[in-house]
Structure formats: structure tokens, C-alpha cells
Structure 1
Amino acid sequence: MPIDILTFVHKKFDFDKCYNRARVQQTQGHTIRVLHINDLREIKVFAKRNQDFRDVIMIDDFLKEEKSGQKQMNIWAKIQFWKRK
């Protein structure tokens, strides 16, 4: 699976704040920081690419489902669904 490694955050964002909000995951003895979903959404808005706008819609749908407590589709299934569009 391809992985994006964030080495630069848009000048509007404070890297240290994004870093501190990141989620920490442990896998196979390695620590991986995953950008907080709200920071990811905002970065994608600033990127202004078609794929990023589709991602923003998907993130908004996911956050809406999380807030309402309704999980209509597994997040990985949803990602695969959006990739096909």
C-alpha cells in the first residue's frame, strides 16, 4: 500500500501543532504519526486538486457519521468506493 510521508505542511499550518495533534500508531516495532483528520482535511482544501476535493467530501461524510453515531459503511470500504469515482 502506498504511503504519503508529510515532510512539509502548508505555510498556514504550524508544523509543531499538527505534530502534537497527530495520532500515534505502533506497528511492527515502529512508531507512526498519523495526521489528525481535521488537519488532513484542511491541508487537502488548500491543495485544491480534484482528488483532494473528493477526499474532503469523504472526510466530511466520515465525520458526520462519527458525530451521529451512524456507521453506514466500514471506512476502508468507503475509501475503496471513493477511489473508484
Structure 2
Amino acid sequence: MFQNVGELLDIRKGRGIYNTYNAKSFLMRWPLDHIFVSAEFRLIAIKLGQDINSDHLPTYAKLSFEPEKAAEQQPEKPSEKQLKNAKEQAERVQL
């Protein structure tokens, strides 16, 4: 929901699987951690780091800021339902 409502792009999409959690078990890994960017950013490189004695693997991304190319990769607009759900969740957690 965060990605849709924020109108953000997932830099991993279309680039393979980057399993970042659970680094302790090869069979139980899945892509839990994300790097989202706005349309003004381009991915130059992405890689997983070495085990740092955590249950997550570090993820490194090299980005370039190219606002003149933002129109080339626009995220999907959130639906009314997604916006409504986000608003309801935000209202529930307000202090």
C-alpha cells in the first residue's frame, strides 16, 4: 500500500529476486526489504551485501537523479480504495 499511495517505484521490479530476509537460512529467504523511489530517480546498480550477522542482508543501490526523465517511468496512480484504506489506517494510529 505504501508504494501505491506514495506513487513510488520499486527498484527491484523486473531485475530479479533480491532475497534480503532470512540471511541465516538459504531456503527460507525472501525479498522483505524494499527501496522505493520517485520517478525522478534511475537505478544504476543494485546488489546484496555480505552477511553482517543479522537476519537481513544489506541492500545497496546506486541511483541517479534525472528529473527530466521522470515522465518515462510513471508509477500507477493509487485507486480510490487504496487511498481510503490508507486514510483509515492512518486515522487508527494517530496519537
Structure number with larger C-alpha Rg: 2
Scaled by the length of structure 1, the TM-score of the pair is 0.26
Structure with higher strand content: 2
Structure with higher helix content: 1
Q: Which has the higher contact order (CA 8 A, sep 6+)?
A: 2
Scaled by the length of structure 2, the TM-score of the pair is 0.24
